[in-house]
Structure 1
């Protein structure tokens, strides 16, 4: 277990600072946008705006970096576990607010809401890794 943890920490430490910066900026803006979208559409939102930092930057960025070497489907599968835990804790601890009778509740029913959210947000890992890679290459490509 110690070796696995040590390997993951080394992966994070060895990531280029420019890549981490692109992750942080991209995920922060993405998180703010999704939180705003969820509130405007009255689906769900964070209880506090700063949770974008804790969830998207402090949680999702490291997970994304650790998953980036895997295939799309492996990133999605591992991401589903990571997002399942995050979604469960967010609703259980009431740090995420779900609007009553929102459009997703009506479509899928309330019992499937958090599962649907986890299934959707697990796509962030392969999609985010693809997007960050494209942005990073565009800005920091060696000439």
Structure 2
């Protein structure tokens, strides 16, 4: 187990700085945009704007880097676990706000809201890795 974590840490440390910066910029903008979209559409939002940094940069970027070499399906599957934990904790700790009777509640019912959010946001890992790779290749 110790070897596993050592290998994962080494993968993160060996990530080129230009690639890491590309992840940070893209995920930060993506997070701000999604938080704004969720608030404007009255679906859900972070309780504090800076949670974009903790969730998208400090949580999702390292996971994306660790998953980037996997297939789409494996990135999605592992991402689903990661996002399930994040969504559960966000609503349980009330650091995320869900607007009552939002469009997703009406469509799927409130009991399925956080599951639906986890299923959707798990796509960020394969989609984010694809986008970051394209942008990084284009620029660098």
Mark yes or no: TM-score above 0.5: yes
Deviation (angstroms), 1:50: 0.1
> C-alpha distance in 1, partners of 2:69/2:4?
16
Paired residues, what number? 140
Equivalent position of 1:3 in the other structure: 3
Q: Which runs of 5+ in 1 are unaligned?
A: none
Moved over 2 A (4+): none
> C-alpha distance in 1, partners of 2:43/2:98?
6
Equivalent position of 1:93 in the other structure: 93
Deviation (angstroms), 1:138: 0.2
Deviation (angstroms), 1:25: 0.2
Give TM-score, length-normalised by structure 1: 0.98
Match of 2:49, SS?
Answer: coil
Deviation (angstroms), 1:92: 0.1
> C-alpha distance in 1, partners of 2:80/2:86?
10
Per-residue CA deviations over 1:56-100 (Å, capped at 9, x if unaligned) read 000000000000000000000000000000000000000000000
Deviation (angstroms), 1:12: 0.2
